[in-house]
A and B are shown apart, each in its own frame.
Chain A
Amino acid sequence: MVEVAVIGMGYSGFSPSTPHLSFREMVYEAAKRAYIDAGDIDPRRDIDAFVSCQEDFWEGVSISDEFAPEQIGGVLKPVYTVAGDGLQCIASAVAMIKSGAFDVVAVEAHGKPSEISTLSDIVRFSFDPIYVRPLDLASIHALQAIEARAFMDSFNISKEALGLYVVMSRRNGLRSSRASHASEIDLDTYMKSDMVSDPLSEHDIAPFSDAAIVAVLASDTVARGYSDDLVWVRGVGFASDIYTYVFRDLSIDRSARIAADKAYKMAGIDSPKSLRNLVVELDERYSYKALQTLISIGLAGPDIARDLESGVFNRSGAIPVNPGGGALSEGVPLEAHGLARLLSGYEQLKGRAGSAQIDDAENAIIHGWRGFATATSSIVVLSR
């Protein structure tokens, strides 16, 4: 069986706006760094295929894959786009390599939300055109607020519990150079912050940021030629729950649960909690989503509030979650967010996470959700 390793990653951006570079120039910068990280490979010679994760309305271009190949070195080679989160592109690359037809595949995702003048309207345009869009919901966060409430009611989660998570994660962000929104806030400040869409207040909702991220994946035979110190992709899974919002179970995230089941099965993991020296990088673009995900992917039970209080998810806890901060500190670069989590997990396993480093990090569970209007999640399991 072909095994797959991540042999290089690079990024550009992670700031609220990037007016000096076009998105293609940002991707070029990220790709250059990823290829150097992979051992100074030449994509024109060494990479067999390229996958780009993007969506037309985020790009402001119809058929945005037109703009995919040049800046990653893919011209006149196999290149395609996936309308999904970056982790879905990773799953695609893994499938390509495991099929036996490709040895080295590069994955790219980027987001430049700073260039979308009508971002809220674009989000509304993703709601069901017959049943939801005509409601013209005042807040684009309304559907997520309903889900947050359903989740909190099901598991007896208080607003304070959300606050404990936010305080922890934003403080972790101070250890990352990519986290321009990180800050030291206390629970009291959190509790007094303005409500956006009850129960979500401004501190519960991640801001946006611009970023481009590139990852290079390779088969075991090729990867071993590049390095002895490799990060392996042990498992991948992704799934979507039913699109019609009112038909979903809102208390847990079924898409994350199914994605995790598939990834764990592929990785041969019975109990994810028992993974040694585990680091978890998850999608926290809403604070409640992080907690809901921890339950959905088997890293916490119904008593999650107690785990939070006792520090299980802290940097020094048994299951460190986003030890260098997550979306709340970095912002969300649209479809690139999943790769942002992968990047942090990759750096942890490489021992290159700087002051965010968790000692001896050996395994990482990476989670990405596709955001607004979607019930699509992905899980990647990495091991050293």
Chain B
Amino acid sequence: MRFNLRVKNRVAVIGAGLTLFRRRLLETPQEMVWIAASRALEQAGLDFRDIDCVISGSAPDAFDGVHLKGEYYSEGAGVVGKPHIRVYVGGGTGVFVPVAAWWYVASGLCRRALVVAEEKMSSAAEPHPQAVFRHIWDPLVEKPLNPNLIWIFALEMHRYMHKCRVSKEDIALVSIKNKRNALDHPSAQAAADITVDDVLNSPMLVYPVNRLDISPVSDGAAALVMVSEEWARRYTDNPIWVAGIGFTLDTTSWTNRELSFPVYVRNAAEMAYRMAGIDNPVKSIDVVEPYDPFDYKELHHLEGLGLAPRCGAAKLTREGVTARDGDLPTCPSGGLLGVGNPIAAAGLMKVAEIFWQLRGEAGARQVKNDPVTGLAQAWGDLMQAGTVIILRR
């Protein structure tokens, strides 16, 4: 893959905001977006009027129950006679929205961009929000088998367990860590202090996946303010810079490849490392928010990102390396397992967490290694999409 390093303009993140993440929120998609956006603007010291572009992301329309839902919720982001674009790459969307915002600002087409992500899964009330995922399969070859979404994760998780000789107990440690980290997150929906036995004894859905291996269904929104260098200098003394972006998409045929290693994440990460001038990610990345809709995915993604050796992430977790006070703090926010999983908003929440960690504004969640460089990553589609952003202070 070719990737130029002729990038001249720097882009900064100067504010972030979240709604609560909850199973059901009273607020409409427009109102949720407005709350998250208002909070991000408040932190940045800007008003809706100062914004010249809105870049948004949201995953399936079927959750909110509105076709063309980007048009619908855009009003909550102050889109009244402004450029607005909605991008998506399934679950990878949340981390991808600031990636797209990056080139809108770096190109000079936009100078002060509002970046929002939203998902209201409670609107898909009957029979269960997961029913929406029935329609993500190949309509002709897979859907007639009447698959449940969890099948695909269970198939991947079990392949990973088989190939890497990782136990369910090892994997459960991720859920425990992230749910505990989330106790310190004000938006968290699924924070808890639990044990390995709690995970293993929670209802078995699709072996090897138990209920507590999975993040919850959520409503929520997240927002960032991203601006050109010139504007960043005017608004703040401590901008956080976008140092690298990366994204790739594999084929739809997820049954035609090795599932134990996410090549698409590796490619996306390599693209971002190259742009950020990082040769040795283990040395350079101080704090990381890999995508964790399922606990095994955190391990899988740490390996894809090259932050753990292949099949080696479980060991790092067992040894406390990925704990908040460890050498590689991983999901200090509490991740999707602890904070919640309003799909696109959850990914953007991870970027917001890296922003706050690099600013030293994460409060009780603040990691101890005085981080300079952080990375957020998300995954999406049928084991296909990897999206990565690297921020630096």
Neighbouring B residues of A84 by C-beta, 8 Å? 70, 85-86
Contact partner of A66 among B6, B84, B263, B381, CB < 8 A? Answer: B381
Q: Does A60 interact with chain B (Cβ within 8 Å)?
A: yes
Interface members, chain B 80-121 (any A CB < 8 Å): 80-90, 96, 100, 102-104, 106-109
| CA distance in complex: A128, B68 (Å) | 10
Q: CB-nearest residue of chain B relative to A52?
A: B249
Q: CB-nearest residue of chain B relative to A262?
A: B83
Contact partner of B249 among A74, A91, A122, CB < 8 A? Answer: A74
Neighbouring A residues of B139 by C-beta, 8 Å? 60-61
Check A55 against B61 for contact (C-beta < 8 Å): yes
Q: Does B216 interact with chain A (Cβ within 8 Å)?
A: no
Check B67 against A98 for contact (C-beta < 8 Å): no
Check A80 against B275 for contact (C-beta < 8 Å): no
| CA distance in complex: A60, B380 (Å) | 18
Check A55 against B68 for contact (C-beta < 8 Å): yes
Q: Does B71 interact with chain A (Cβ within 8 Å)?
A: yes
Q: Does B24 interact with chain A (Cβ within 8 Å)?
A: no
CB distance from B149 to the nearest CB of A (A): 10
- Interface size of A as a range: 35 or more
Check B381 against A63 for contact (C-beta < 8 Å): yes
Check B61 against A56 for contact (C-beta < 8 Å): yes
- Name the residue among B80, B83, B87, B247 with the largest chain A CB count within 10 angstroms: B83
Neighbouring A residues of B104 by C-beta, 8 Å? 95
Interface digits, B43-65 against A, CB 8 Å rule (1 contact, 0 not)? Answer: 00000000000000001111001
Interface members, chain A 46-76 (any B CB < 8 Å): 48, 55-57, 60-63, 65-70, 74-76
Q: Does B271 interact with chain A (Cβ within 8 Å)?
A: yes
Check A242 against B75 for contact (C-beta < 8 Å): yes
Interface members, chain B 187-217 (any A CB < 8 Å): none
Q: Does A103 interact with chain B (Cβ within 8 Å)?
A: yes
Neighbouring A residues of B90 by C-beta, 8 Å? 63, 65-66
Neighbouring B residues of A363 by C-beta, 8 Å? none
Q: Does B148 interact with chain A (Cβ within 8 Å)?
A: no
Check B62 against A76 for contact (C-beta < 8 Å): no
Q: Does B369 interact with chain A (Cβ within 8 Å)?
A: no
Interface digits, B1-25 against A, CB 8 Å rule (1 contact, 0 not)? Answer: 1111011110000000000000000
Neighbouring A residues of B67 by C-beta, 8 Å? 55-57, 122-123, 125-126, 373
Given known A-B contacts A57-B61, A62-B136, A241 and B103 have beta carbons under 8 A apart: no
Given known A-B contacts A129-B65, A241-B81, A78 and B107 have beta carbons under 8 A apart: no
Check A243 against B79 for contact (C-beta < 8 Å): yes
Q: Does A267 interact with chain B (Cβ within 8 Å)?
A: no
Neighbouring B residues of A81 by C-beta, 8 Å? 87-89
Q: Does B132 interact with chain A (Cβ within 8 Å)?
A: yes
- Name the residue among A76, A99, A242, A370 with the largest chain B CB count within 10 angstroms: A99
CB distance from A248 to the nearest CB of B (A): 9
Q: Does B267 interact with chain A (Cβ within 8 Å)?
A: yes
Neighbouring A residues of B87 by C-beta, 8 Å? 80-83, 92
| CA distance in complex: A84, B57 (Å) | 12
CB distance from B199 to the nearest CB of A (A): 28
Q: Does A240 interact with chain B (Cβ within 8 Å)?
A: yes
Neighbouring B residues of A241 by C-beta, 8 Å? 80-81
A sample of 9 inter-chain contacts (CB < 8 A) reads A66-B381, A69-B249, A80-B100, A83-B70, A83-B86, A92-B100, A102-B103, A130-B28, A241-B81
- The 3 lowest CB-CB distance pairs between A and B, nearest first, are A98-B107, A99-B106, A126-B67
Additional 4 contacts, C-beta under 8 A, given A80-B89, A95-B107, A100-B7: A69-B384, A92-B100, A100-B8, A240-B84
